[in-house]
Structures are given as C-alpha cells and as structure tokens.
A and B are shown apart, each in its own frame.
Chain A
Amino acid sequence: MPGHASRPATSQRGAIAVTATFFALALCGVAVTLFSEVASVKKLIDRGEANVRALEAAETGIALAEEEISSRTDPGGDGIGNLTGTYGGARFVVATVNDPLITDQWTLQARGTQETGSRQVEVRIRRVPMVLWSYGMLSQSSITISGGGTTDSFDSRLGTYASQATKSDRFGTYASASGPVGSNGTILLQSSEVRGDSNAGPGYTTTLQGVANVTGVTTSLTTAVVIPDTPLATFTAAATVNDNGAWFTTGGTSYDSVTKTLTVAGGNTITLTKSTYFFSKIILSGNSKLMIASGPVRLYVTDQVDFSGGQIVNATQSPANLQIFQQPYALPTGYTPSVKTATLSGGSSSAFVFYGPSTPVTLSGNGDIFGAIVGKSITASGGSRLHYDRAVVEQLDDGHAPIRRVYWRDLAPPLR
C-alpha cells in the first residue's frame, strides 16, 4: 500500500518539473536576448564616447604643442612641439615638423586614443613674430644716428653680451650683424654704423653721411609698420593700481604722490622691488641709478623720462625684465603732460625695452644700451651703442609670439 500510494505523487512532481523548466527556459531566453541587446547598445555608446574622448585628447595635445611653439620652449626635452600625455583618461601623441622652407610655419599631427576610439588631427600653424620688436630701433617719423653710434645684436638667452661680442670691425667689437633699424620716415646715419638692415619708410630712404655704413640692406619698407599707442586703459589701470612706493633707496629720492613725479639725485640708487610703477615724470640726475634685481618690471610714464644724468642697472641683464612705456595721456587725473620726451642713457647694465610711439627719444652719451627702442623719433648723437636683444621678440607679451592657424583637419573622421 505505501508503494501504491507514492506513484501519483511521483508523476505530479514530473509535471511540475517540466512546467518549471519551460518557464525557466523562457525567462532565460528573454534575459539572454535583453542582455545581448544591452551589451550591443553599450558597445555602440562606448565606441562613440571613446571617439569623442580621443578627439578631445588630440586637441589637448595640439594646444600644448602650440604653447611650446609659441614660447619656443621644450619642457619635455623631446623637441619643440613634440609631446605625449593623457587627458581625461585618453592618451595623445603629438609630432611636429617645422617647414624647412617656410620656417615660421609648423605642421602638427596629433593622435588621440581611448580604448577602441582613435582620432588623428593635423594642424598647420604660423608663428607670427611681433614686428614691433623685430628692430633694435623703430620710429614713426625719423631716426638719426651720429657721432660713431652703432647697432648690433645679441641674444640675452645665450649669455651676456660680452660673451657673444667676438667680432670686430672699424667701429669696434660686436656680437652679431643683425641689429636692424626701421622707420616709417627717414633714417640718417652720420659717421655711424648699422650692423643689420636699415629700412626707411615707404617713399623714404636711408641716407649715409661721412664714414657711415649699413652691413645689411637699405631697402625701404613697402608698407608702414603699424605702431599702436599703448591703450589708455592700460595706463589708467597702472595709474589706479600700482606698486609706487615699493622701492629701496639709498637717499636723494623725491617722490610726489599727487603728480607721481619721481626724482633720484646725488649719486643715489633706487631699487624697484615690485612689478608695476606709474609716473608722470621719472628723472635720474647726478649719476644716480635706477636698479632692478628681478623682473619683469613695467614702468608707465605719461610725461617725461630723463635718464641723462644717471643710468639703469638691470641686474638680470635681460632687457625684457625692464619695460618702459611712455604715452602722453593726461594721467594722473588733473595732470597735463607738457614735456613729453624721453632721454635715455647707456651703461654696462642698461638693459631695457622702451615703447613710446608718440615720444621723441634721445639717446644721450656714448654708453651701451641693451634691448630695443620704439619711439616717435629717435636721435642718437653721442655715439651710443645699441645692442638689440633678439630675445625680446620672443619674450615680450609674456614670452609668447602669437600663433595663427593656417588650417585644421581631421585626418580620419569616423564616418558610417
């Protein structure tokens, strides 16, 4: 009897097992289908996202390479414009080639990779040197060099001028015969030498008198160089927020905080310790010195710069570290410029750049000036020796030359 009673229970368990198996298989089928669909969709989405991230990485690499080319720096030591790195988990490699014929143009190829995504972008750029600082002297109206004055050039990044001044001619020793002068008007050389090109303005010529010489060409410019004023906003900002008073002085210093007039006399030295100064007049007399120990220091002057009785001492030896801007704006408030001239003098450490497109500039004495000068007119009658620093064309504007893109292209855009 117990054996008979168990038979129906066994067959019922079989039916339930079959039914359960059927449902389980059906559910498994649905689950597998859904899972494969989700996996397929995820794969598509991942691929799209990887492509986007790869492009972002490639563009990041391009931007970093452009920065290197703009500043002519090579932090990685693998050549300017060549670099590798990661961005957002994607990797990029940039290879740059400087056009051997058009040397201011560069071709950058960047590859970005992220898992299954890969993008390759090519960019051609042009490095635009700042014409304003391509000359040792540049003027709006005229340049006159007389009394044995000379120009040449050196590169302050390569060491001191003295270490580069290994050549000589009848005007003395010099570093490199690439110290050009340019003007939108006339250029007159009297018993002086320009070691480099002398480019007078359109319709004007370079005139040589006495034992004068130009080692380069004397071709006149075909179009005038645009020499813009320093913006009023820049001067206003400097007049409003500046570091006036942040200096050390050995004495003999007079400063009027209302008119912003600074005079240093009696052979004293004033050392500027901050970065931005604003004056209506700054005057050195009695063999006084204006000194900087680090830079860049920017001086904004509205009325008069007179260093004829003293000299600049730039301990960094880098002209870009002392930038003097002069523009006859009616600043500070209530002040009206009346002199509106600049008289600069040389010395063994007179390294600076001067930018005053509305200012008649006089170079006094026969000292050495290291850097570059832009003025309305420039007169050097005492035999000044201007040593143009080729580095300033790279170093000014925070050491960057503007980059212009010639083109951008996607070498292998992912299509369908």
Chain B
Amino acid sequence: MRARHRQSGSSFVEIALAMAFFATLLVSFFAVYGSTQRMANRTRVLLQAENDEERNLSVIANLLRGAALATLGGFDAGGVATAPTFQAVTGVDAAGVRVLGTVQGLAWRAHANAVDGIANPGEIALTQDGVTRTLASRVPLGGFRVTRSANSLRVTLTTYSTMNDPGRTAATVTRDISVSLRN
C-alpha cells in the first residue's frame, strides 16, 4: 500500500525540481522578453521619430511649395532662416495679376511641459493673421532651419520621439528636404 501511494504522487524533491525548472524557464523568458522589449522600444521610438520626421517635412514642404519667391523673408546673408516668412498666391485680380495672401510665418516654439530625454522640446508653429497653430510637432530647440538657394528651399528638421517606459526611451532624427518654389 505504501509503495502504491509513493508511486501515485510526486515526492517533495520532484515537485521542488519541477518548480525550480519552471522558475528558471520563467526567469529566462522574462529576461529575454525584457531585453527584447527594450530593443523593441528603442526601435519603436526610432521608427516613430522617423515617421513623424517624414510627416513633418512633408507638411512643411507642402506649405512652402506655394510660396511666392519674392515674398520670402527672415533669411540672413547666408540665405539661412530659422523663422522664415512668406506669402502664398491666392488668385488673380481683374487684370490678371496675381494676388498674394497675408504673411505667414514659421517658427519654433517651446513646449510648456518637460519631456524626458529631450533638453528643449518644442514644435514648429505656423502663424497667419494672428492665429498660430502647430505645423510640425516634437521638434527640439535648434531643430528647424531653412536654406535658400535660387528658387529652392532646403528644409532641415530634427524630430524627436519618446516613450513613457521605465527606461524613458528617446530618439531624434534629422533629415532635410528640398522644395522647388512654384511661384
């Protein structure tokens, strides 16, 4: 009878070994998962920054493309501006002469809230007729520059992305885009 009881259950040692085995498996799994998660977060943040960068550049390029060359302002002697102004064409008058819209300005402005991992978080805002709205988000201080060359503008932009994870993962991406002015 005793022998049958021993055979039908597990000994303490067997259970302990099994638990130790599963514990090791779990620890290994979470260690690998945690490591993978951190790498994934870094990749995710970088990917997010890349996406935002591309979208920001695209938005700015779409806006500047219709600017009238003669109305560009805010450029220094080297043809560089960090707060350019311009006017877009809105149509023609009765004599067929083009009519310009009001002055529009692009400039960096700071975020009110601090962002972990980014020293001076901010965004690019568009101001027209006294109304300011966000054009490109998550741009750090010094991350926006427009260089003029003939009838082209090269927009250089830095975009950051952060994640609210324990590691406060952050990434920045800097790219540029050339815009050929149509007017």
Residues of chain A with a CB closer than 8 A to B62's CB: 410, 413-415
B59 touches A407 (CB 8 A): no
Bound together, the chains give a CA A44 to CA B91 distance in angstroms of 33
Bound together, the chains give a CA A151 to CA B62 distance in angstroms of 53
Bound together, the chains give a CA A124 to CA B96 distance in angstroms of 9
Contact with B135, one of A37, A44, A415 (Cβ below 8 angstroms): A415
B182 touches A37 (CB 8 A): no
Residues of chain A with a CB closer than 8 A to B29's CB: 23, 26
> Does B102 interact with chain A (Cβ within 8 Å)?
no
From B136, which residue of chain A is reached at the shortest CB distance?
Answer: A416
Residues of chain B with a CB closer than 8 A to A45's CB: 51, 54
> Does A51 interact with chain B (Cβ within 8 Å)?
yes
B59 touches A415 (CB 8 A): yes
1/0 per residue, CB under 8 A from A, across B114-138: the answer is 0000000000000000000011110
1/0 per residue, CB under 8 A from A, across B138-150: the answer is 0000000000000
1/0 per residue, CB under 8 A from A, across B20-58: the answer is 001001000100010000001000100100010011001
Chain A min CB distance to B125 (Å): 11
Contact with B18, one of A15, A102, A405 (Cβ below 8 angstroms): A15
B47 touches A105 (CB 8 A): no
Residues of chain A with a CB closer than 8 A to B4's CB: 4
> Does A19 interact with chain B (Cβ within 8 Å)?
yes
Contact with B96, one of A44, A51, A126, A405 (Cβ below 8 angstroms): A126
Bound together, the chains give a CA A7 to CA B92 distance in angstroms of 91
Contact with A410, one of B22, B51, B65, B91 (Cβ below 8 angstroms): B65
Chain A min CB distance to B43 (Å): 10
B89 touches A408 (CB 8 A): yes
> Does B7 interact with chain A (Cβ within 8 Å)?
yes
Contact residues of B between 64 and 86, Cβ < 8 Å to A? 65-66, 68
Bound together, the chains give a CA A206 to CA B144 distance in angstroms of 63
Contact with A4, one of B7, B33, B59, B97 (Cβ below 8 angstroms): B7
Q: A406-B96, A413-B62, A416-B59 are in contact. Are A8 and B10 (CB under 8 A)?
A: yes
Bound together, the chains give a CA A254 to CA B4 distance in angstroms of 131
**Footprint of B on A, CB under 8 Å?**
4-5, 7-8, 15, 19, 23, 26, 30, 34, 37, 41, 44-45, 48, 51-52, 99, 101-102, 105, 124, 126, 405-410, 413-416
Question: 13 A-B residue contacts at CB 8 Å?
Answer: A4-B4, A7-B8, A8-B10, A48-B54, A99-B96, A101-B94, A124-B91, A408-B65, A408-B66, A410-B65, A413-B66, A416-B59, A416-B135
